[in-house]
Amino acid sequence: MSRLLLILLLFSVCLTACKKTDTGLAAEKAQAAIDDKIISDYVAQHPGFTRIDTTGVYYSIKLAGTGVDLFTNSTQVTVADTGKFITEKGGVFTETLFTETNDFHPSYILSTVIRGWQLGIPNCKKGGIIRLLIPSRYAYGPNAQPQLGTQLGVINGLPASSVLDFDIQVYDITN
């Protein structure tokens, strides 16, 4: 009898431990609404952006490149980028620089960069410059990145749930 009770107790503990809560999903939806409002307000004040499907990622081509490159997850891109995070208070936007690679040109495999870059960079051609507005869910999400920006004077690094604004110049595309 005690074995049966022990088995039932362990079974019930396992079931309750596996129960999913809706709080994580609710928090994600709430942050998505905040990000989308910041970006839509920003785009209203700075026209010329195009939305990528239903993602909430926006782009603007600042300089058209050339070529007809095919982008895949294994495509390597060589870029220079300037990254800022956007905050809004009372309709006033503040952009804080947190990364800049204009003095050197790193190369990345497209599948290894943030999702916003994966969605945005294929809209640019070799030699082109694209500007991306990226909601936090397509960047670092609720995870602060304390190492990013400290070399540029951002005291605590990139905050959690940051809306990002990148200018990216695409130097090379390799498949």
Helices within 60-162 (DSSP H only) = 115-120
Confidence (pLDDT) at 68: 86
- Write the CB contacts of 61 (distance below 8 Å, at least 6 apart in sequence): 123, 124, 128, 129, 130, 131
Domains parsed from the chain with CATH numbers: 23-174 (3.10.50.40)
Task: Give the model confidence (pLDDT) of 14-59 as tens digits.
Answer: 555 554 556 788 999 999 999 999 999 999 999 999 999 999 999 9
Based on the number of CB atoms within 10 Å of its own CB, is 45 exposed (0-12), middle (13-18) or buried (19 or more)? exposed
- Average pLDDT score over residue span 123-147: 96
* Residue 71 confidence (pLDDT) above 60: yes
pTM of the model: 0.84
Q: Which two tokens stand for residue 121?
A: 């960079």
Q: State the pLDDT confidence band at 119, using cuts at 50, 70 and 90.
A: very high
Residue 168 pLDDT > 60: yes
